[in-house]
A and B are shown apart, each in its own frame.
Chain A
Amino acid sequence: MADHASPSTAAHSDAHGHDDHDWNAHIKTYMKVGAILFGGTVLTVAAAFLPIFDLHHRAGNLTLGLLIATVKCTFVALIFMHLKNEKKLIYKFLLFTVIFFGVMLFLILSAQHDPIPLDPTHNMVHHTITHP
């Protein structure tokens, strides 16, 4: 796929004409991705009703559904958003964005799951002090 953004091909596409075939290939790719996205959506719905892994907490369905969504998202980002042909610079700061997003998500959650346990003796001590 031609990188329309890079200087060389940008200059190239100025002299269109012979490019048309190339663009038709693009169109085919886009259509394929569109089909994958539609299919993926159907799969997501199916995944929500599949009896997998864990009946009660639906963790299996959740994981599967989000996995399919991630795959769909990857296709959109790489092909529709041309990330596949993009410059390293964009990757660099997107990488940091993703890291910070992950950090936000997981540190907040792990802070939630690490509470200081209540000390049962604490109240008793308090009690004896207030009622001498």
Chain B
Amino acid sequence: MEIPYTVKPRPDTGLANPKLGIWLFLASEVMLFGGLFSAYIFLRVGADFEWPFHDLIVWPGLTNTFVLIASSVTVVMAWVSLKMKKYGRYKMYMSITILCAMIFMGLKSYEYAGKFKHYGVTLKDGSILEGHLGHHAQGDKIVFGEVKALTFSLTNRSADLRVLDFRAEKNPAFDPHSTAEGNHLYHPVHGGPPVKVRTPEGDEVELTASWLKAQHKAYAEAKEASYKFVRDKMDAGEKDVKLPEIQVKNKQGLLVKAEPSITVEIVGEPLLLLVDERDLLSYDKNTLTFREETKAGGRLVTDAIEFIPDCIDLRRAENMEQSLAWKYLGEDMRQKFFTSREASIKDLTERKPWLFKHEKIDPADRGKSHGDEDVKRYSDRYNDEDDHDWAHSVEHDKVINIDRADKRFFANFTPRYNNFYAIYFVMTGLHGLHVIGGALVLAWFLFTGRKMYETNPEQLENRIEVGGLFWHFVDLVWIFLFPLYYLM
């Protein structure tokens, strides 16, 4: 039996099934993006930080707006061409639409990539330094060397050999005078050689997942045995049964107390680890504790954040004059900052600040405006050829090493940085997924439509119309996203 109204509209509702379906789907999409817009407004109105303003570069967003509008026009033109029985023109317009989608996504990924590389450090007093990671030595990683002992938890089920993935070594080809990408003092070892360890019982074994699994299993069995003892007694009606000590057999076959963790000594070269702070539960001078409770004993080489700042933001600093920023940037920079600040405050009273943002900053300084009078941007070049001194630099265009003790929060400009970027990524990301999905469907219609055009042109027209409706909706969402994120 045929399902009615798949192509022709039903007389009393005036709609064919696909069109009714897509409009219902769009209604739910309105609520989806509606929920996100509500969240955006809620977060913005309730934000306890300065909501970023003109932080995103306008031109890619603007270009993308034009691209999407153009694609909206071409998709409707493709439909009209079909209605006019001009298949060639339909193909052309549809191809342009899909091309537009690709341009859109290309620009989007360009924008995203920039944000992943851009970092911000909020210091203890609220001063913010923005910039890039130095790529001389460790970037934002913690370097921990001379690891001679590892302790694995036997109770934590997620304990595995992840610690070995953080192994690194000193790069013999490191050139302190070069600023080339990938020129690091330490570089991670991917899939390094197996590690030999000495167990508490004195055996030398290779550190493998199966070895660790066996330790886990032995402990779990020992634990289960003692619990079974309790269960059996209680099932038999005894009350207040005490849990006996958990015991395992040692090498000599004697029962000994089972430890909830196992510590092994590394045989041979000690390890060097390059670790992200977020992979750790805690660390001190001699111990790293990973999230899965694995501990590494050794010596902390450095935990400073190697940073090339290109912007100072003192809006939220407790005291601008004594900002922690000056500890790293030096007196010269401090004076430059305040000279410029006075000038811009004076300018603000005399001129239209909305139009003045870009000019306010010294033309010699490159980079985009930050849109706030307290923000001063200076050269983001890394041009000091001689510098490989990671001590606190007083020169503005040098790499500085920020003490982790001075850091309140540190992130790149991903959802983690603040809620502006978080909702930006979620909304534009979801919108991007819609673009991809829509483009795939339209491409499917484009490449497989010929046969349907010959057998049932009206159905193809309907399909293009329905696909087009979705595409227009995607465009429509962007029409709101663009001003909300790039302009307002």
What is A's interface to B at a CB cutoff of 8 Å? 4-7, 10, 13-14, 16, 19-20, 23, 26-27, 30-31, 33-34, 37-38, 41, 44-45, 47-51, 55, 58, 61-62, 65-66, 68-69, 72-73, 76-77, 80-82, 87, 89-90, 93-94, 97-98, 100-101, 104-105, 108-109, 112
Q: Main secondary structure on chain A at its contact with chain B?
A: helix
- Asked if A30 and B487 sit within 8 Å, CB to CB, the answer is no
Give the dominant DSSP class at B's interface: helix
A97 touches B488 (CB 8 A): no
| Nearest Cβ on chain A to B453's Cβ, whole angstroms | 14
Contact: B353 with A105, CB < 8 Å? Answer: no
Q: B483 an interface residue at 8 Å Cβ cutoff? A: yes
Q: Are A105 and B41 within 8 A (Cβ)?
A: yes
Residues of A within 8 A of B208 (CB): none
**Contact: A109 with B352, CB < 8 Å?**
no
- Interface residues on chain B, size class: 35 or more
Q: How many angstroms between the C-alpha atoms of A90 and B465 in the bound complex?
A: 15
> Closest residue to B488 on the A side, CB-wise?
A62
Judging by beta carbons under 8 Å apart, are B8 and A23 in contact? no
Contact call B488/A48, Cβ cutoff below 8 A = yes
Residues on B with beta carbons closer than 8 Å to the beta carbon of A77: 472, 476
A94 & B80 in contact (Cβ 8 Å cutoff): no
Residues from 267 to 308 in B contacting A, C-beta threshold 8 Å? none
Query: With the chains together, A48 CA to B354 CA distance in Å?
Result: 8
Residues of the A chain whose Cβ atoms lie less than 8 Å from the Cβ of B461:
4
Chain B residues contacting A19 (CB-CB under 8 Å) are 83-84
Contact in complex: B45, A16 (CB < 8 Å): no
Specify the chain B residue showing the minimal Cβ separation from A63.
B488
Given A51-B352, A80-B72, do A65 and B487 touch, yes or no (CB 8 Å)? yes
Determine the distance from Cα of A6 to Cα of B15 in the docked complex, in whole angstroms. Answer: 7
| CB within 8 Å for A93 and B27 given contacts A6-B14, A30-B77, A34-B69 | yes
Known: A34-B73, A98-B30. A44 touches B38 (CB 8 A): no
Contact A97 B84 (CB under 8 A): no
How far does the Cβ of A26 sit from chain B's closest Cβ, in whole Å?
6
Q: Are B80 and A23 in contact (CB under 8 A)?
A: yes
- For residue B24, CB closer than 8 A to chain A, the reply is yes
What are some 28 contacts across the A-B interface (CB < 8 A)? A4-B461, A6-B14, A7-B9, A13-B83, A16-B83, A16-B85, A27-B80, A30-B73, A34-B73, A37-B479, A41-B66, A45-B487, A49-B355, A61-B354, A61-B487, A69-B479, A69-B480, A73-B480, A76-B472, A77-B476, A80-B73, A81-B468, A89-B13, A100-B31, A100-B34, A104-B35, A105-B37, A108-B42
Cα separation A52 to B72 with both chains bound (whole Å): 32
